[in-house]
Amino acid sequence: MSNYAETFSEIYTGRPTGRQLYLHEKISCVPISNVSTVASKKCFALLGYACDEGVKRNLGRPGAVNGPDAIRKHFGKLPNHLPTETLLYDVGTLQCLEGDMEVTQRALSDSICQLLQHKHFPIVLGGGHDMAYGSYNGLKKYVAKGETIGIINFDAHFDLRNNRQDNGHTVNNSGTPFYQIAQDCQADGTLFKYLCLGIRQDANDRILFETAKELDVKYIMRDTFRIQFHNEINAWINAFTGNVDHIYVTIDLDGFSSAYAPGVSAPSPMGFTPDVVLESLKTIMATGKLRVLDIAELNPDFDRDDQTAKLAASLVHYVLHAERN
């Protein structure tokens, strides 16, 4: 793929121990073309999505193109508690060339399907939230016909903007991926199952709430998406996941309060906190249905002391280790 770049092991650094005590000593960088089916109990594959063309089209602050490597640099420094037999790969990065976001999304879709076919758990590092369209479609290609996919989005925004312009042209961006998915589902008769956690009224206009209602989107407002309500939140998550066969989770870092995630395109101090996300992820992973995870909207240009990159790396670390058994 012309828009594919291999990851080299030099990006993963940290304290040397010779005993794989840290993830930079555990992870192996391999070209995605060399991925093959594994018999290991668990195999995780990190894949970068270096694209912020969708953010630019959505009039946001560019810079998320550098998100994948920023996450990698901090991920490698984290401690490794994975079993010896668990495999951890970095399979490279998909790049957006000449502003052609749609080609990058298709490459992401193909790559995720390939990883799933080879029994790898894909974790995509972004990159603008337009990645969600590629991530979802990769899983959709993989699952059997008639099986349902539930999307769970940790986000302040619905990302349900209509991609059709007044002049009749279609313009996809980082704010349209779930609207695009919904339209595809209507076209092919697939059920559109979408749960959004952390929605803010000050981050979505009236039309977006109306669209969410029309599409029967389930959502929890930020006022309720708080750790003190975790029992109620877990009940809603279980009700949603109980009616789907597979789960795709996407975490938009701009949903977090800027106290935790300043390095995003659209920061706000009114966002949610990491503890409620971790509690929710625990509930989701307990279903055994999680198939794909991605993390979107890291913008290193606006980070403070790499705080947002560290948050993203720690989220990946949490999922890896919660899934290890």
H helical segments located in the chain: 23-26, 53-57, 67-75, 101-117, 131-142, 177-188, 206-214, 230-241, 274-285, 307-322
Angle at 286 between CA 119 and CA 46, to 5 degrees: 40
Does the annotation list 202 as a binding residue? no
Does the annotation list 184 as a binding residue? no
pLDDT of residue 325: 42
Flag whether pLDDT at 190 surpasses 60: yes
Report how far residue 325's alpha carbon sits from residue 255's, in angstroms, rounded to the nearest whole number: 29
Does the annotation list 223 as a binding residue? no
For residues 202-208, average pLDDT: 98
What lies within 8 Å, CB to CB, of 253 at 6+ separation is 261, 263, 264, 295, 296, 297, 298, 308, 311, 312
In the Cβ-directed half-sphere of 218, how many Cα atoms lie within 13 Å? Answer: 15
Q: What is the CATH number of domain 4-321?
A: 3.40.800.10
Does the annotation list 317 as a binding residue? no
Per residue in 213-222, pLDDT (tens digit) is 999 999 999 9
pLDDT of residue 166: 65
For residues 170-179, average pLDDT: 96
Per residue in 250-268, pLDDT (tens digit) is 999 999 999 999 999 999 9
Flag whether pLDDT at 28 surpasses 70: yes
- % pLDDT > 70, the chain: 98
Q: Six-digit token pair at 166?
A: 């007044």
**Given the structure tokens 């390095």, which residue do they identify?**
263
Per residue in 49-97, pLDDT (tens digit) is 999 999 999 999 999 999 999 999 999 999 999 999 999 999 999 999 9
Flag whether pLDDT at 41 surpasses 90: no
Domain ranges of the chain: 4-321
Q: Supply the mean pLDDT for the chain.
A: 96
Flag whether pLDDT at 159 surpasses 80: yes
Report how far residue 178's alpha carbon sits from residue 129's, in angstroms, rounded to the nearest whole number: 10
pLDDT of residue 120: 96
Largest Cα span, the chain: 61
- % pLDDT > 90, the chain: 94
pLDDT of residue 21: 98
Does the annotation list 155 as a binding residue? yes
Flag whether pLDDT at 244 surpasses 70: yes
Flag whether pLDDT at 18 surpasses 80: yes
pLDDT of residue 323: 58
pLDDT of residue 38: 77
- Confidence band of 324 (pLDDT split at 50, 70, 90): very low
Per residue in 221-239, pLDDT (tens digit) is 999 999 999 999 999 999 9
Does the annotation list 169 as a binding residue? no
